[in-house]
Structure 1
Amino acid sequence: MSSVQEKCVSFKDKRMVWNTSIDVQGVVDALNNLPIVHQLDLEGNTLGVEAAEAIGEALKQHPELRSALWRDLFNCRTRTEVLMSLQHLANSLMYGSIKLTVLDLSMNNLGTDCFNGLDAIIRSGACYTLQELRLENCSLMPHATVLLARSLIQLYKNAEKENTPLKLRTITLGNNCMETEGCTELSEAFKVLKTLEVIDLKQNDIFLDGVSSLALALAENLQLRVFNMNDNALCEGLEDICLVLPQLTMLREIDFGECLIGNKGAFQLSQALENHLTHLEFLDLGFNHICVDGGLAVVKSLKNKENLRYVYLGGNCFGARGCQRILCEMNKLPTSGALGPFDEDVSEDDEFYVDTSLNEEGATDVATPDGSNPDGSNPDGSNPDGSNPDGRNE
């Protein structure tokens, strides 16, 4: 962390409609009245072309700007308006010799039509120092993702020529429908960058070929700490990723929830985790069609993960008896408290519920909905017909 306190101009979530330079006078005044501005947060407003130009002019006075937090900034704007507004902002960043470390344009409907505006910012000298790029839910689709990948490679080359090696650490591109085509091209950019610590590609319709390309890119980013592929189809591609995971010794978080890895994938992942990734803190494998033996294999692979704080296995195919077995296995670990709930975890033939509270002997109880024990006996130990377990009548 920097020892210098961040000076921020924030209009976050004001829900302002900024069309003209008059509309945005408050932002301009704030920028003009402060000698130092490290962060400009305009999230949750809607910015028009003339207003963007006015803010851009004011930004030229602040070469010390580091964070451009422009999430959800173009709601209800046409593609043309968004493109021209981004170009005005890009011009101000380049003119002012600004050196950004954070650029957040998430939740803006950029798509291919507006990509030239984004590209102008990314390729500029303002991004030679970029450490975090956040473009979640920007409707990039495959074509714009391909263009983004090429822009990142060009940015890397430009920064290298200027003797300011690019050190991009975080890239979040969730919910962009990039599909296999976009992921494959983006993986080529990741191979070039080699400095990524956070890769977030959740909800992007990525399938086998894209996953295999991504696995090769991971091997070039050995400082990776967070890897989020939630709600993509890893399936057979998981095998390639599992071959690389043991090399990622700094990995802290793995999110493979809703990735269709199945029981086979659970075993592959457990083999990759066992005796590796000792710094792991977070693991999400929820809703993956994993059976009991696969779940048990995963839990057993966590025995040397002393920093584990959360493991989610809900929504799989364990059934109550399977959940009980997994819970008992997890209770053998010093990090047993990390196990999340088994919500929505019911097999078709499931007739039991799980009580995760500990009894006096340290075991957990399983009971049927009518209150009887799993073997059919009543809570007091008698049989359902009222007789004693040994066959004697009172």
Structure 2
Amino acid sequence: MSSVHEKGISFKDKSSIWNLSIDVQGVIDALDNQPIVHYLNLEGNTLGVEAAEAIGEALKQHPELRRAMWRDLFARRTKTEVLLGLQHLAHGLMAADSQLTVLDLGMNNLGTDGFIGLDAILCSRSCYTLQELHLDNCSLMPHATDMLAHSLFQLYQSAKKANTPLKLRVITLGNNSMEVEGCSQLCEVFKVMKTLEVIDLKQNDIFLEGVDTLAEALAANLQLRIFNMNDNILSEGLEGICMVLPQLTMLREIDFGDCLIGNKGAFQLSHALFNHLNHLEFLDLGFNHICVDGGLAVVKSLKNKANLRYLYLGGNCFGSRGCQRILREMKKLPTAAALGPFDEDVSEDDEFYVDTSFDDEEGFDATDDLNGPDK
């Protein structure tokens, strides 16, 4: 987490092409001349092997480095260049015995080869203190995701043995095509960690078995605040997640947009939210083939969510009259202004319409007044 008291160096978005050591002389000079460097931001440049080696050498004099902010740093580099570049940076961190809290390598095409370079950082003492790991858009695919799970477990075990238990809070792994295999392996590690507050797995082709193991991982991380599964396929697997959600009393944000949960999923989620998760601030259920009764059920389940600031239900199957009914129901809540636009809505008479009943044992009638005339 950033601090106003932190001192650091930033070459963010300079669009520099760093191939040789002379190309990064400005970075080296900054590292040499500034005695305290809590963060090094190199995002938005492209780093070659020799240049990475030079930066790695300069890092050896900065054990106080906490945040390695290296997003989008290996654009247009070969797999070998990424691998060797990361290894040189890792050597610098390890030689300095840096204690990282943030490692951000998002937007880098790591793949399997590049991950071997990342592994040199993750499995070092420098990551025993890691709190945030950002690896979104890194082309990990199932195999490299499996490698990541193994590295994280090794890191957890090593940190524990060193009497400095790992306290990873944030992990963002969106858009990595990890699929069921990769997700399942990661979830086994998540279950062991028990410290996660942010899990972002959007756009990863996760469905079925992957969702089941994810529910178990959620149950082990009761401090979770943000959960993003946007653009995966939850559908039938949502039931297991909904059974766990009421236990996550710290949860603030849920993003299930474009997850094909359907009307049935809307009712399942409504049941999980009703009289639970009263600190919820953000809920995205857009583009999920939800019909009017499902949308109304969601709205009614939010009546005790005083902190709600954004609810998105666009892209579902309400039709114009259905949108008006949901809007009227939302206006009954003190958080009515949280409702987002009904853009790209399709008629509930289209092929996606499913008439799903919902029986609630606690007296929550999600379909109350749905059969009556519009007023």
TM-score interval w.r.t. the shorter chain? over 0.9
Give deviations 1:108-156, integer Å, cap 9, x for gaps: 0000111110111001000000000000000000000011001101000
CA distance in structure 1 between the partners assigned to 2:229 and 2:285 by the alignment: 11
CA distance in structure 2 between the partners assigned to 1:3 and 1:82 by the alignment: 30
CA distance in structure 1 between the partners assigned to 2:48 and 2:28 by the alignment: 14
Give deviations 1:248-282, integer Å, cap 9, x for gaps: 00000000000000000000000000000000000
2:119 aligned partner, one-letter code: D
CA distance in structure 2 between the partners assigned to 1:146 and 1:348 by the alignment: 41
Alignment pair present for 1:134 and 2:160 = no
Aligned position for 1:146: 146
CA distance in structure 1 between the partners assigned to 2:348 and 2:97 by the alignment: 62
Aligned position for 1:46: 46
Q: What displacement does 1:221 show?
A: 0.1
Moved more, 50-59 or 4-13: 4-13
How many equivalent pairs are there? 352
Report SS of the residue matched to 1:199.
strand
Structure ranking higher in helix proportion: 2
Q: What displacement does 1:2 show?
A: 7.8
Inter-CA distance 3–262: structure 2 relative to 1 (3 Å threshold): closer
Give deviations 1:3-48, integer Å, cap 9, x for gaps: 7711110000000000111000000000000000000000000000
In structure 2, stretches of 5+ residues that fail to align are: 351-373
CA distance in structure 2 between the partners assigned to 1:142 and 1:136 by the alignment: 14
Give deviations 1:165-200, integer Å, cap 9, x for gaps: 100000000000000000000000100110000000
In structure 1, stretches of 5+ residues that fail to align are: 351-373, 376-394
For the 8 Å contact 2:292–2:348, the answer to whether it is kept is no
Aligned position for 1:299: 299
For the 8 Å contact 2:291–2:348, the answer to whether it is kept is no
2:42 aligned partner, one-letter code: L
Alignment pair present for 1:73 and 2:73 = yes
Aligned position for 1:333: 333
CA distance in structure 2 between the partners assigned to 1:74 and 1:228 by the alignment: 26
CA distance in structure 1 between the partners assigned to 2:311 and 2:125 by the alignment: 41
Aligned position for 2:11: 11
Alignment pair present for 1:313 and 2:313 = yes
CA distance in structure 2 between the partners assigned to 1:231 and 1:349 by the alignment: 24
The one of the two structures with greater contact order (alpha-carbon pairs below 8 A, sep at least 6) is 2
For the 8 Å contact 2:107–2:135, the answer to whether it is kept is yes
1:334 aligned partner, one-letter code: P
For the 8 Å contact 2:64–2:98, the answer to whether it is kept is yes
Alignment pair present for 1:257 and 2:257 = yes
2:300 aligned partner, one-letter code: K
Query: What TM-score does the superposition give when structure 1 sets the normalisation length?
Result: 0.88
CA distance in structure 1 between the partners assigned to 2:61 and 2:96 by the alignment: 7
Alignment pair present for 1:248 and 2:237 = no
1:242 aligned partner, one-letter code: C
1:74 aligned partner, one-letter code: F
Aligned position for 2:272: 272
Q: What displacement does 1:346 show?
A: 2.7
CA distance in structure 1 between the partners assigned to 2:17 and 2:189 by the alignment: 37
Give deviations 1:300-330, integer Å, cap 9, x for gaps: 0000000000000000000010000000000
1:6 aligned partner, one-letter code: E
Runs of 4+ in 1 over 4 A off after TM superposition: 1-4
User: Alignment RMSD, CA only?
Assistant: 1.4
For the 8 Å contact 2:318–2:348, the answer to whether it is kept is no
Identity %: 79
